[in-house]
Structure 1
Amino acid sequence: MTKLIKSTFIVVAIALLILSGSSVLAEGSSKGKIVMGTSPDYAPYESVDAKGSGEIVGLDIDIAKAVASKLGYELEISGMDFNGLIAALQTGRVDFVMSAMSVTEERQQSVDFSNVYYAARNTIVSKAANNYQTLEELEGKRIGVQLGSTQEMAVSGMKNVEVKTLNKIPDLIQEIKSGRIDAAIVEDAVALGNTTANPDLKFTLLPSEDEDQGYAIAFPKGSPLVVPFNEALKEIEASGEKDAIVSKWFDSMLATTGPTSGINLDFGILQGYMGYILQGIYVTLLFTLVSALFGFVWGAILSLFKISHVRPLQWFATAYTSVFRGTPLLLQLFLIYFATPQLLDYTISPLLAAGLAFGLNSAAYLSETIRAGIMAVDRGQREAAMALGIPYRTMMISIIFPQAVKNILPALVNECVALLKESSLVSVIGVQDLMRRATVVQANTYRAFEALLVVGAIYYVLVLILTSLARVLERRLRRSD
């Protein structure tokens, strides 16, 4: 049993090194590296090339590369949800943000902006049967906007409307198609792509209220990068390079975006994307394995603390369990991911942050399960071991613990299944798991159900395999009795 625990620790350590690989590389790279944050679900500005290299591409990306090249920087791109970009800036995870982000007074209180590099217009997207033309027509209606966007601010002053905020544009489009909202306010290029791919939708341009408003690059307050970036933006605009980039991406969007077959489900649109989706299986399984192993080892230690006669250890284990079971897992994930660089001056990778958050959370639950398993072992075995003079440590590791694990095996399997399914939460910090890849395909195809159904089927198959392996293990353990 001692060898098993040592082997488990070694596996966890190796896996954590794999998960933290990106952070180690980041620290060892040249001083000329600069990190850009973006939300790659907003084609043609930023999206993932799921059919090709798998890299983040788009209009904003090409402009950022042109600016970085002129300033002599090596550009690194970090993808995450749009509503986490400002937090990433403030905690030092990224050096600047470029994600079709508009300049607003509220944002200027938290970050500094460059000059506007592109001006877009808002639109009303709705079903073709409605085809709303003005904001006045939306009075008394249900309106959808992206969380943290300028569109959210644009509708904040409207009266007699019900505003629904979601993280991603594809989710807003699906809400319109399902009838949960009447219209969505989105930017013109995104509206064009979605309505072209979905003939049952139409969009109407809204008049521009301020010609000086548009998309700009966001920096942390007091960043020395603002001035050189503004100069580089002027250079690529004067040379015509920026106009060429804009034309390239808008022409590309019009050429590749076409109407769907019009049926409710068309899995043909996933052609070319399946390889990209299936790559997420490795990330999901690796994350689940590390979280489960770490949670089991740490949970076992906590359970021993709880049954020990040392009061401080009991208090610590009880307080730990109370905190991690009493706060949301998503909150713990955000705290570890965003707070670690600020508090410890260490740029933790998204996958490592997710593994730690889920492992620490799982340990809180498993500690109670393992404690119950230990207490369920017949007390006579402890008394017999003590009578034979077997040391307490040897008794727990070689006699009590193996029987406890055998008793709680179904509960352990259930925890692994829960970790596998809950792993979809890590997509919010940019981990390229199955769920994140499904949202990328959604953004690229402007269709919601097909990618989600495929990923759902993959999760189901993985759970079936996991439970089947657990049954085999359980049968072998029974034979060994």
Structure 2
Amino acid sequence: MSTIIVVAILLLVFSGSSSSAEGAKKTIVMGTSPDYAPYESVDAKGSGEIVGLDIDIAKAIADKLGYELQISGMDFNSLIAALQTGRVDFVMSAMSVTDERKQSVDFSKVYYVARNTIISKANHNYGTLEELSGKRIGVQLGSTQETVAASIKNAEIKKLNKIPDMIQEIKSGRIDAAIVEDAVALGNTTANPDLKFTMIPSGDGDEDQGYSVAFPKGSPLVDEFNEALQELEASGEKEAIVTKWFDSIMATTGPAGGLNLDFTILRDYMNYMMKGIYVTLLFTLVSALFGFVWGAILSLFKISHVRPLQWFATAYTSVFRGTPLLLQLFLIYFATPQLLDYDISPLLAAGLAFGLNSAAYLSETIRAGIMAVDRGQREAAMALGIPYRTMMISIIFPQAVKNILPALVNECVALLKESSLVSVIGVQDLMRRATVVQANTYRAFEALLFVGVIYYVLVLILTSLARVLERRLRRSD
């Protein structure tokens, strides 16, 4: 019981405070995908906060309306779901108004109009959509560029979560071109001289993209935001914000050349990226501990003589092993606020999802370890009158753990590596921080190589510690 309490306390560390103090400004939560500079990105060189054109406009609106702004980062294709489940109050993420999106959310008036462009290698010259016929085209999943690309005849459309992913696909030759918005194209081609972009001509099956603020259906915030946007437009404050962030794009510099790798661009981001090690290790530790404790309980259910407990443990294992871990993560993160009216934090949701999933696998491993212990020891303990609980904790479990130690280490290693999945809901682990650096530098490869080395070193350290523990256990026999 004490172990379960410790696990619960560790999990609660993730949750933070879910309510604002009495008497403070009312908090309003904004959802965004911070990988789309200059509209939204993370200030990885400085504060680590999400910054950008959309952020400054949102702050100005919140200030005018008397709200305290809280920003929640996640993948672009998760933003609509976050609105519908009440995780966020509004979304600003360079989101265009479409008829399909209008069926799910409400929109404000347009606050910025952008142009679509075609990015390709510099030795190609795609100037119109017709020239992309029969080509491999990249677009961001959930963006309006999907609709534009769908109109191209015989094109092979590849939908990716993030802009840096598309840039890397172009550079590696897996796609011929990508359709993105003008400011993003400018930043990426400035940082990558081997790439170029051209504006899609007006009337060429494409219209200028009007970006708006998205709200849940029936939200009273729509009228308030429209009034605030009109005030920002009239005062010239919005134009000043746009100018500030578009000028910042031109400060981006290209790579040093050679192998087209320039690791010096990571110098200013080292501190930000290294902080991801703590988040990754904490998440792995808590998930592994929770998974082990709950998995041990499930294993006892499976070997008990109480039929309902056996059925429950078997059904639990079947469900969690039979469905994708990413699906379980999404369900816990998005469904909890809607069903339980509790604003679960991304890290707590990730810890629960990974712990519950790991327990399903560990329950079978632990059960096998228990069954491998010589039956005569149980009979001897019972003959001596040792209570069942004491027998299991002091006699059977230590030997079972010794037998399954390699399997437990493998599960910890798997948790450590699979922790990269939590980046999709905005947890600032190593992988999420790498994608942030990708977005800020417009360079797709250097940050990924760097975190790959970190993951490898962490796994080596974990396996080395496991070998030391295993040797000590053997000497204690």
**Common fold, TM-score beyond 0.5?**
yes
* Residue matched to 2:231: 235
Q: How does 1:58-207 map to 2 (within 5 A)?
A: 58-207=52-201
Displacement, 1:211? 6.7
Deviates more, 1:259-268 or 1:219-228: 259-268
Residue in 1 that maps onto 2:316: 320
* In 2, Cα distance between equivalents of 1:475 and 1:25: 49
CA shift, 1:208, in A, is 3.7
Decide whether the 8 Å contact of 1:308 with 1:314 is kept in 2. Answer: yes
Counterpart of 1:41? Answer: 35
Summarize the Cα distance change of 1:374–1:211 in structure 2 as closer, same or farther, 3 Å threshold: closer
The answer to whether structure 1 residue 17 and structure 2 residue 25 are counterparts is: no
How far 1:154 sits from its partner (Å)? 1.1
Q: Which of 399, 402, 405 is the matching residue for 2:401?
A: 405
Distance in 2, Cα, partners of 1:284 & 1:26: 27
Task: Give me the whole-angstrom Cα distance separating, in 2, the residues matched to 1:424 and 1:375.
Answer: 34
Q: Which runs of 5+ in 1 are unaligned?
A: none
For residues 126-159 of structure 1, give each alpha carbon's deviation from its aligned partner in whole angstroms, at most 9, with x where no partner exists: 0111121000001110000000000011111222
More off after superposition, 206-215 vs 269-278: 206-215
> For the Cα contact (< 8 Å) 1:306–1:317, is it kept in 2?
yes
Counterpart selection for 2:338 from 342, 357, 360: 342
Q: Specify whether residues 317 and 185 from structure 1 end up closer, same or farther in structure 2 by C-alpha distance, changes over 3 A only.
A: same
Q: In structure 2, which of residues 282, 289, 292 is the aligned counterpart of residue 293 of structure 1?
A: 289
- Residue 240 of structure 1 aligns with an amino acid whose one-letter code is G
Contact 2:121 2:195 in 1 (8 A): yes
Shift of 1:123: 0.1
1:434: which partner in 2?
Answer: 430
Q: 1:211 to 1:27 in 2, by over 3 A?
A: farther
Q: Deviations over 1:52-107 (max 9, x none)?
A: 00000000000000000000000000000000000000000000000000000000
Are the counterparts in 1 of residues 132 and 152 from structure 2 also a CA contact under 8 Å? no
Deviations 1:333-365 (A, max 9, x none): 000000000000000000000000000000000
TM-score (norm 2): 0.97
| Deviations, residues 30-73 of structure 1 (Å, cap 9, x unaligned) | 45110000000000000000000000000000000000000000
| Coordinate RMSD, CA, aligned | 1.3
Q: Distance in 2 between matches of 1:49 and 1:397?
A: 49
What stretches of structure 2 of length at least 5 have no aligned partner? none
> In 1, Cα distance between the equivalents of 2:420 and 2:193?
31
The amino acid of 1:72's aligned partner reads G
One-letter code of the match for 2:443? R
More deviation in 376-385 or 204-213? 204-213
Distance between the aligned counterparts of 1:85 and 1:119, measured in 2?
20
Question: In the alignment, what sits opposite 2:211?
Answer: 215
Q: Does 1:55 align with 2:15?
A: no
- 1:364-403 alignment, distance < 5 Å: 364-403=360-399
- CA deviations over 1:214-260 (Å, ceiling 9, x no partner): 00000000000000100000000000000000000001111x21222
SS of residue in 2 equivalent to 1:134: coil
Matched residue SS, 1:408: helix
CA drift of 1:404 comes to: 0.4
Distance 2:26 2:81 in 1: 23
- Give the Å deviation of 1:262: 2.4
**Counterpart for residue 424 of structure 1:** 420
- Tell me the distance in 2 between the aligned counterparts of 1:352 and 1:331: 16
The whole-number CA distance in structure 2 between the counterparts of 1:338 and 1:62 is: 27
- Aligned equivalent of 2:256, options 256, 261, 280: 261
Quote the Cα distance in structure 2 between the aligned partners of 1:265 and 1:258. Answer: 13
Mapped to 1, the partners of 2:212 and 2:26 lie a distance apart of 22
Deviation at residue 212 of structure 1 after TM alignment: 7.5
* Displacement of 1:383: 1.0
Question: Can you list the C-alpha shifts for 1:289-316, whole angstroms capped at 9, x where unaligned?
Answer: 1100000000000000000000000000
Q: Relative to 1, partners in 2 of residues 1:235 and 1:192: Cα closer, same or farther, differing over 3 Å?
A: same
Instruction: Report deviation, 1:16.
Output: 1.0
Q: Is 1:121–1:207's contact at 8 Å kept on the other side of the alignment?
A: no
Bigger mean CA offset, 157-166 vs 209-218? 209-218
**CA drift at 1:389:** 1.6
Q: Using a 3 Å threshold, how does the CA distance of structure 1 residues 27 and 308 change in structure 2: closer, same or farther? A: farther
Q: Distance in 1 between matches of 2:18 and 2:124?
A: 53
| Superposed displacement of residue 26, structure 1 | 5.2
Structure 1 residues 214, 109: CA separation in 2 closer, same or farther (over 3 Å shift)? same
Give the percent of matched residue pairs that are identical in Structure 1 and Structure 2: 86
Aligned-partner Cα distance in 2 for 1:14–1:386: 35
Q: Which position in structure 2 is the counterpart of 1:330?
A: 326
What SS is found at the alignment partner of 1:164?
strand
Letter of the structure 2 residue corresponding to residue 97 of structure 1:
V
| SS at structure 2 position matched to 1:123 | strand
Q: Which amino acid aligns with 1:297?
A: V
Find the aligned partners of 1:122 and 1:258 in 2 and give their Cα distance: 23
Question: Structure 1 segments of 4 or more deviating over 2 A?
Answer: 8-11, 23-31, 207-213
Q: Deviations over 1:257-294 (max 9, x none)?
A: 12221232211111100100000001000100110000
